[in-house]
A and B are shown apart, each in its own frame.
Chain A
Amino acid sequence: MYVIVVGAGEVGTYVADRLSREGHDVAVIERDRAALRDVQERLDVLTLLGSGTNPEVLREAGVDRAEMIVAVTSQDEVNLVCCLVGKQAGISRTVCRLEDPDLRSRKSSALHEAMGVDLIIDPDYETAQEILELLEYPGASEVAEMAGGEVVVIGAKLGADAPIVGRSLIDIAAEYEPEWDFLFGVITRGDETIIPRGAVVLQADDLVRVLCKRRARRQLMKILGLARRAPRRIMLLGGGRTAELVASTLDQRGSEVVIVERNPDRATELAGRLGGTLVLKGEITDADLLEESEVGTFDAVLALTGEDDANILACLYAKLAGAKETIAVVHRLSLLPLLSEAGIDVALSPRTASANGVLRFVRGDVSAVATFLQGEVEVIELEVKEGSPADGGIVAELRLPKDVLVGAFVRDGKAQIARGRSELRERDHVVLFSMPGSVSDVRRVFG
């Protein structure tokens, strides 16, 4: 597919990178020369200097060939116009990043239609959703719900005290025979990420991604050594849009939420909007402030500002003070290894959250996509089409690429862990682990 990405910011660059690695042809349009040069140096894409709303620039970007335009600049208006111009130039699918809640809401659907917007993404919103998912699984570093929540992929770093450390996968599997409720999908150890075979012995500090049925998630958490109570007292550092979205949801769930915000006006605004939430005014890295508000007594501390360093420092402080779980938003993915070393439990990035939405849209027939921060592996969910090779096929006999692992399938709303002997049928929803480059092969098999 030929995709035009407008805006080479954090999200735009990430989306362009993912798409390009997946085998799509990508052209990136950006107004800032320096940002564009970065893209040019890092990605294998066509780069164009200029505005995405300029028909001439779009023409140079190959709008006549493009099938999709992804408008992800930081300005809603620009994004909307990009979609409009692209639609008029004959692009069939448009993705628009909108931050203004009014513009995003259903009330504006007429506008969306008029502007030709097919998919709306909002990094802040997606991040908030991801945070909320994570909070449901305390201790997990990554959570992805697939197949309408029937299947959950949980990523977690194994602590030295986890019960399964030191055991081989065969061993573990034998224990839970015949009915498996979970499956080890991917293991990251050091720099290397593999789809494991049975003989692999789990070690402390391995980052495992385990796929499990929804009902087995508590049990799995226990096995992973992560069984904890869901957090009740939560502190949000930074009062941005993400924090607001998270806080309002948590508030409804009855959690106790405290927000720290630097900007007094914004703090007042938040306090007004969120009734049951305590809003504190101050710097999130102000140790006295954190101390005073007894940061150590909170179940979870989330640092959500736009500044990586502040987020990391605050989380470190909270961890030292005794907070049970700390979650930091980081924008620079290369800092991730550092974080887990330093003891921050979870890190997440707004870009992956929104990129997942775009990727799902690109795939079209794929129902869900989840990507992980570390390693290129992704989890995808798709439906077995009638008459496809997978329809009525045995999993082990499907001609799948080597770097693909079928994890589970959902039939009639009931999830089952896939085994080599499992037989698939049409309309099954299959959840599998795959490298981005193999996605097209996978789709061939499943229809």
Chain B
Amino acid sequence: MSALRSGGGFSRQRRIEAAAIHVAGLSLLAVAGACAAGLAVELIYRDDQWEPLLLSTGAIGALGAVMWRTTRLRTTGAGTRDALQAVGVSWLAISVAGAVPFVVAGVLRWDLALFESVSGFTGTGSTVLSPIEGNTHGLLFYRQMTQWVGGMGVVVLAVAVLPFLGVGGLELFRAESPGPTSDQLVPRISDTARRLWGIYCALTAVATLVLLAAGMTLYDAVSHAATGLGTGGFSPYNDSISHFDSATVEAGVIFAMFLGSVKFPLYYMAFKGRDLRVFWRASEFRFFVAILLASTAFITLLNRSMGVPTALRGAAFNVVSLISSCGFGTDDFTLWVPAAQIVLLFLMVTGAMAGSTSGALKLFRVQVAGKHAWREIKRVRRPNGVYPIHLGRDPIPEDTVRSVLGYVMFYFVVAVGSIVVLSLLGADLPTSSGSVVTAMGGVGPGLGVAGPASNFLVFDGWQRFVLIFLMLLGRLEIYPLILFVLPVSAAVRRSSKRSRRRRGSTDGGDRLVRVGAD
């Protein structure tokens, strides 16, 4: 309601109250950080292309700092709409800012650079940089870092850093963090965000060590650990992981991707309780492992004509790579039998566990939707039966089920609509469906002509813009972007107002009172 300021009269505020700009400014600082990391690598490798990176770091950092320092959060904490706005503005800002180094370095035109940047921050990994290897270490490392930063989320980072975000922080956290449930680990949301980032850094370090042990150089290990944990899938090599042509490296990368697709709060609980059984106790984890094994086995079976060991190696790597929405490539799976490709397509839709860095629907939602479908069949048999949905021990509250189903349906409708649009823009069905699914899920490679051996230069300008939109949509889990970008927001407000008026404004009024009481 009101803030206390000391030592003064009722003067004008020094900082402008604009939560969105404030958070976006911090996010830009994160981008500048990624840039600076690239700059450092550039200097270490003496690739002589440090000016663009320095320029970008400076420019983005300065802009971010200005935006951050001249604004402030609303003192009462952000409401839902503020949070959505902040997340939307932040992501637009980092998308644009992230493109700057590519443009300044002169390797990509602005629209391609924007695609690359969005693909980076959303952890997608579809690339329009071709060839990749011609570029300097610094720029490529920056490209890797965009995925690492975007993997856990810049806004989550902001929540972790901002000292007294309080209530609004939770809204922000929810709006950006992947998954339907944001498990709060500790009472304070900023502490939770800090712990998540801590786990993330620790896991990245572990993955780096594993990759080093598997025979990578330090640079490669850090690069791939970052994009593996962030389940992004960028690689500094044209051939991605097949560059190394080593089963050991592949196993190491599989490990990294697996780490990134497990629900992060589970690590915290396991660490805190010194008990590894928490993983197995999570129904979603068991489901995840079951799907991994089943799909790998099935695809190996389908591809048995290549010889079982080869088929198994390819299947294992690509199943993990696609379900984790990472998108590293070894084999060109567009050459596999169609059935295997369809299975992969569905893995790209399901994604891995909620609360991990992976994208797409998340298995938690898939489980809930599947169980709901099944219980509706049971209800047909016994219309008066009461069938709560259980995951593990606890029944899931019906309003969670409702919102999960809503999201699944939204995802499905958006995907189908986009496939139609992309097809009408000239792509064939495998390409359009593959690229829509891969963009929404943040995976990377698609099917058809946009497979792992190809890149997204096969799309023309408009198609690429659709895909950019889809990547952001999928990463932010649809609602923030839709409510922020589209005028739907206004329509929704109007229609809800209308329905509220019809019902005599009880609930709406209550909400207002609540907000005011904060």
Contact = CB atoms under 8 A, between A and B. Distances in A.
Contacts of A199: 9
A194 B186 contact: no
B224 to A, nearest CB: 36
A435 interface: yes
Contacts of A193: 2-5
B305 interface: no
Contact-residue bracket for chain B = 20 to 34
A99 interface: no
A192 B2 contact: yes
A191 B194 CA distance: 33
Contact of B166 (A41, A44, A334): A44
A83 B514 CA distance: 30
A25 B195 CA distance: 15
B4 A332 contact: no
B383 interface: no
B167 A192 contact: no
Interface string A353-378: 00000000000000000000011110
B314 to A, nearest CB: 43
Interface stretch (A250-258, A402-410, A414-422): A402-410
A139 B211 CA distance: 75
B517 interface: yes
Nearest to A405: B6
Contact of B186 (A46, A192, A437): A46
Interface in A1-45: 2, 20-21, 25-27, 33, 38, 40-45
A25 B187 contact: yes
Nearest to A193: B2
Given A44-B169, A192-B10, A377 B187 contact: no
B154 interface: no
For chain A, what secondary structure do more than half of its interface residues adopt (helix, strand, loop), or is it mixed? mixed
B244 to A, nearest CB: 44
Contact of A402 (B7, B164, B189, B516): B7
Contact of B1 (A2, A335, A374): A374
Contacts of A334: 513, 516-517
Contact of A189 (B1, B10, B191): B10
Interface string A180-205: 00000010110111111101100000
Contacts of B167: 41-44
Nearest to B185: A46
A333 interface: yes
B158 to A, nearest CB: 15
B187 A44 contact: yes
Given A42-B167, A43-B167, A332-B517, A195 B7 contact: yes
A62 B9 CA distance: 44
B487 interface: no
B186 A25 contact: yes
Contacts of B191: 25
Contacts of A377: 4
A190 B293 CA distance: 64
A435 B7 contact: no
B8 interface: yes
Interface residues of A, number: 43
B5 A194 contact: yes
Contacts of B164: 437
Contact of B9 (A25, A191, A196): A196
B518 interface: yes
Interface in B180-203: 184, 186-191
Interface in A318-338: 332-335
Given A27-B187, A46-B187, A375 B4 contact: yes
B7 A42 contact: no
B170 interface: yes
Contact of B513 (A27, A196, A332): A332
A306 to B, nearest CB: 16
Contacts of B514: 38, 41-42
Interface string A279-312: 0000000000000000000000000000000000
A376 B2 contact: yes
Contacts of A374: 1-2
Contacts of B7: 195, 197, 402
Given A42-B514, A44-B187, A334-B513, A375 B2 contact: yes
Nearest to A333: B517
Contacts of B169: 44
Interface string B488-518: 0000000000000000000000000110111
Contacts of B187: 2, 20, 25-27, 44-46, 62
Contacts of A46: 184, 186-187
Nearest to B2: A193
A388 to B, nearest CB: 22
B186 A188 contact: no
A42 B514 CA distance: 8
Contacts of A192: 2-3, 5, 10
A42 B171 CA distance: 9
A265 B189 CA distance: 49
Nearest to A46: B187
A191 to B, nearest CB: 5
Nearest to B189: A44
22 contacts: A25-B186, A25-B191, A33-B397, A41-B514, A44-B170, A46-B186, A46-B187, A62-B187, A189-B10, A192-B5, A193-B3, A194-B9, A194-B10, A195-B6, A197-B7, A332-B517, A333-B517, A374-B1, A375-B1, A376-B4, A405-B6, A435-B4
Interface of A: 2, 20-21, 25-27, 33, 38, 40-47, 62, 186, 188-189, 191-197, 199-200, 332-335, 374-377, 402-405, 435, 437
**Cβ-closest 3 pairs across A and B:** A334-B516, A25-B187, A46-B187
Given A41-B167, A194-B4, A334-B517, 13 more contacts: A26-B187, A33-B397, A41-B170, A41-B514, A44-B169, A195-B4, A200-B10, A375-B1, A375-B4, A376-B1, A376-B2, A376-B4, A405-B6
Interface of B: 1-10, 164-167, 169-170, 184, 186-191, 397, 513-514, 516-518
